[in-house]
């Protein structure tokens, strides 16, 4: 037993000696730890910077395509001008429509809940062997209480709306400026940032090159998926005459930000509005159900493999764990970047054994 324990300890000691003293591995570990601590501690303060970096990643692909014909600065001006035009339409054209439809939907929400309750309370009569009327009433009462608490939270949030408006105005000014300079001076900013990194960082550069490529592909692919899904949903809902088509189509587009969970959450408002408008017995309700199912199937079977075949190579369980972990740390942005962050973890784990293999080859 002693000899076996000694061999295990020696194996562990040899493994640590091969990996830990390596300057590249130490540099990668330091960069990851310091970066994690900075993001965690300064997330609220530097949120405009993070948003600008995300949008700069989104626009970088178009800038690179234009650089084949133009120099960097004219390409940045063209792409940034197009971005500001689209942003202005979103702010002054689409947002008022969304606000109007959201206000109308909130006003009709009590009627939708009452209609849903009336239909749900019929289930014990139709299926008494499966559903108890008393338990169903208790469940409905609990849902009403949660809805009441949520309404109170909304009221308390509206009381601090002045602070929210001021913050939004600051973001509207700072974020476009930061985006422009992130695109224009990308090389300068990266060279300045590299001065603070360890010199022996070849392993870190290799890991970052892989993550950088996948992060850019992921953000651009996610944007394209949101736009395609939102437009397809709007055209479908408008053609079928569904109320709040613009608002629900925006929900349909944004639900892809949260993989797996978003598709489940958006089902309730879409089918709830369709039920309130036509009821279960109407043919239009069934058409909405079929159209909604087809859109979700096309997104999962066609769009996701087409847009993220290279950017996402993770098991669904790993994606869900990443959403829960990083979402718990950083909220919305943690959920949005759950897949790229999980890709970073995977790249680091994959690179570490390769480092050990190179050292064995060097020793030989």
Q: Count the helices and strands in the chain (H runs, E runs).
A: 16, 0
Q: So what's the pLDDT on residue 356?
A: 45
Which of 147-156, 230-239, 296-305, 352-361 is modeled with the greatest confidence?
A: 230-239
d(CA 55, CA 45): 18
Q: Which residue has the tokens 């009433």?
A: 137
Which tens digit of pLDDT belongs to each residue from 155-165? 555 444 545 66
The C-alpha torsion from 264 through 247 and 340 to 48, rounded to 10°, is: -140
- The CB-side HSE value for 68 (13 A sphere, CA atoms) comes to 4
Q: How confident is the model at residue 187 (pLDDT cuts 50, 70, 90)?
A: confident
Task: Summarize pLDDT for 45-54 with one digit per residue, the tens.
Answer: 788 888 888 8
* pLDDT(17) > 80: no
pLDDT at residue 237 tops 90: yes
104-142 tens-digit pLDDT: 877 777 777 777 667 666 666 666 666 666 676 776 777
Closest CA to 247 of 237, 256, 239, 257: 237
What integer pLDDT is reported at residue 288 of this predicted model?
92
Residue from 104, 332, 347 nearest 214 by CA: 347
State the Cα–Cα distance between residues 262 and 300, nearest whole angstrom.
12
| CA dist., res. 148 & res. 109, Å (int) | 12
Q: Which pLDDT value is given to residue 355?
A: 44
* Secondary structure string (H, E, C) spanning 210-245: HHHHHHHHHHHHHHHHHHHHHHHHHHHHHHHCCCCH
Task: Give me the mean pLDDT over the 324-344 stretch.
Answer: 77
Whether this model's pTM surpasses 0.95 = no
Per-residue tokens: 145: 């209480």
Nearest to residue 228, comparing CAs of 298, 285, 163, 286?
A: 298
* DSSP codes, 132-169: -HHHHHHHHHHHHHHHHHHHHHHHHHHHTHHHHHHHHH
pLDDT at 28 exceeding the cut of 90: no
User: How many Å separate Cα 346 from the centre of its chain?
Assistant: 18
């Amino acid at each position: 037993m002693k000899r076996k324990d000694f061999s295990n300890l020696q194996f562990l000691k040899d493994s640590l000696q091969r990996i830990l003293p390596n300057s590249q591995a130490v540099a990668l570990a330091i960069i990851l730890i310091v970066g994690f601590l900075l993001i965690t501690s300064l997330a609220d303060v530097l949120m405009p910077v993070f948003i600008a970096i995300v949008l700069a990643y989104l626009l970088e692909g178009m800038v690179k395509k234009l650089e084949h014909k133009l120099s960097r600065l004219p390409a940045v001006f063209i792409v940034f001008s197009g971005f500001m035009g689209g942003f202005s339409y979103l702010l002054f054209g689409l947002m008022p429509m969304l606000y109007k439809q959201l206000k109308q939907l909130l006003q009709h929400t009590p009627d939708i809940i009452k209609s849903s309750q009336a239909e749900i309370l019929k289930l014990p009569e139709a299926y008494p062997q499966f559903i108890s009327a008393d338990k169903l009433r208790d469940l409905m009462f609990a849902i009403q209480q949660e809805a009441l608490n949520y309404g109170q939270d909304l009221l308390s949030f509206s009381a601090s709306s002045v602070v929210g408006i001021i913050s939004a105005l600051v973001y509207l000014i700072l974020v476009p400026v930061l985006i422009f300079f992130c695109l224009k001076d990308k090389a300068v900013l990266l060279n300045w940032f590299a001065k603070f990194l360890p010199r022996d960082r070849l392993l870190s550069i290799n890991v970052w090159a892989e993550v950088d490529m996948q992060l850019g592909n992921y953000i651009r692919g996610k944007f394209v998926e949101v736009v395609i899904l939102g437009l397809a949903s709007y055209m479908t809902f408008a053609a079928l005459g569904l109320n709040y088509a613009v608002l629900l189509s925006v929900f349909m587009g944004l639900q892809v930000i949260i993989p797996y969970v978003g598709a489940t959450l958006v089902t309730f408002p879409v089918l709830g509005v369709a039920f309130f408008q036509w009821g279960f017995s109407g043919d239009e309700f069934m058409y909405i159900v079929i159209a909604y199912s087809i859109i979700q199937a096309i997104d999962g079977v066609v769009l996701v493999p087409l847009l993220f075949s290279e950017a996402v190579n993770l098991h669904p369980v790993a994606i869900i764990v990443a959403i829960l972990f990083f979402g718990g740390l950083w909220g919305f942005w943690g959920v949005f970047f759950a897949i790229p962050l999980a890709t970073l973890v995977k790249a680091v784990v994959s690179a570490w054994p390769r480092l050990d293999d190179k050292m064995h080859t060097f020793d030989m």
